[in-house]
Amino acid sequence: MKAEKSIFVGTGMIVAIVALALTSSAMVRSAGEAAPAKEAPMFEVDPLWPKPLPNHWILGSAIGVGVDSRDHVFIIHRGNCSNDNTECGAAQDPPSSECCVPAPPILEFDPEGNLVNSWGGPNEGYTWPTSNHGITVDPKDNIWIGGNGAGDSHILKFTRDGRFLMEIGIPGQTTNSNSTEHFGRVAKVSFDATGDEAYVSDGYRNRRVAVIDANTGEFKRFWGAYGNTPSDSNIGRYDPEAPLAQQFRTPVHCAEPSNDGFVYVCDRPNDRIQVFRKDGTFVTEKIIAPQTRGDGSTWDIAFSRDPEQRFIYLADGKNMKVYIMERESLEILTTFGDGGRQPGLFFAVHSIATDSRGNIFTTETYEGKRVQKFVYKGMGPVTEMTQGAPWPRGN
């Protein structure tokens, strides 16, 4: 009995020692090895894109970018000069210098960055916005623009070479987020995969998403935050310590439909993305940089070009960066950019779009006044949350 008991105790001690050793080894291995890094799309800025503009042309505040089926990039800007006597001396009467003059409002670049067309501005047959805002290319390669100036309660539709097609809404109207006849300073127009429905982020005066027939301009439906009936009541300034607002604040800055039937809305001053079904049913929301006040953090959205649209690229003009997010979970994986004038940095990154190769294009408003290209470099492990300027790494 004593021998058997000794063997049992000895065996038990050996088992315990082996188990402890294995546990300790696992703990050491766990402490010494980081979990596998998540992967995200990687980008490098192309500091030589686009090529210089002709005719002493310069850009004003660049407030829209879109890409057509040929990967041609369209931008829209306001032509505003920082100082008429210095930046736009050649546009004065009489000219005070040889340079410069504002470029036409809409510029078209080919994939290599060559300027291939320019057009836009007031003309007979339509009312050009007092402050043009946003440019989008629909799946049929038509060009749509809105406006956020006084009296801009309409949308314009053109062919990609600038031929006027349709004016939707009545210019010069006042705020009415429940109107089916006009808009309220539209920030941007986006489209479903077929191009048959247009989703209007409406906008700088109204507080809603409106959906119209892209072929006829007929109003189909609209909604406010959380799918509520939109209200134009003043809910005051955003306070990160206050309960979440049950209505959108102005501006509602984007409304991007995905291929699988969701709509991602930039509720810019509320620092959030709200997700809906295409009928306006609320699904979820994501708060981005909630301490951001004033201009807000959620300015514009573009999707990655894989069939699943796995990633969201979110432009944040207040914090001067672009977020790379998983679309399904809305998790922020990494960011690039920072405040600055050099390539890869931003001053008020305002609009964002992608081409068929996965490249990103951004425009900058206020004194940013430029368009930048970020070249897709494939997937890679996320090693830092804040990348700064994604400068070319070289060979």
C-alpha to C-alpha distance for 95 and 62, rounded to whole angstroms:
24
Regarding pTM above 0.85, the answer is: yes
For the segment 70-83, the average pLDDT, to the nearest whole number, is 94
The percent of residues in the chain predicted with pLDDT above 70, rounded, is 90
Q: What is the DSSP letter of 202?
A: E
Whether omega for the bond prior to residue 243 falls within 30 degrees of 0, making it cis, is: no
Q: Are 171 and 153 in contact (CB under 8 A)?
A: yes
Give the pLDDT confidence score for residue 84 in this predicted structure. Answer: 77
Task: Give the domain 36-381 fold.
Answer: Neuraminidase (2.120.10)
In whole numbers, what is the pLDDT of the chain averaged over residues? 92
SS3 25: helix
44, 67, 270, 251 alpha-carbon torsion, rounded to 10° = 140
Strand order in the sheet with 300-303: 300-303, 311-316, 321-326, 332-336
Q: Is 77 left (phi over 0), alpha (psi -120 to 50) or beta?
A: beta
Strands 39-45 and 360-364, by their bridges, are unpaired
Enumerate the domain spans of the chain: 1-33, 36-381
User: Which one is predicted more confidently, 28 or 364?
Assistant: 364
Give per-residue burial for 67-101: e unless 16+ CB within 10 Å, then b: bbeeebbbbbbbbbbeeeeebbbbbeeeeeeeebb
Give the pLDDT confidence score for residue 14 in this predicted structure. Answer: 42
For the segment 268-272, the average pLDDT, to the nearest whole number, is 98
Could you read off the pLDDT of 220-249 as tens digits, one per residue?
999 999 999 999 999 999 999 999 999 999
Give the pLDDT confidence score for residue 106 in this predicted structure. Answer: 98
16-25, 54-63, 314-323: segment of lowest average pLDDT: 16-25
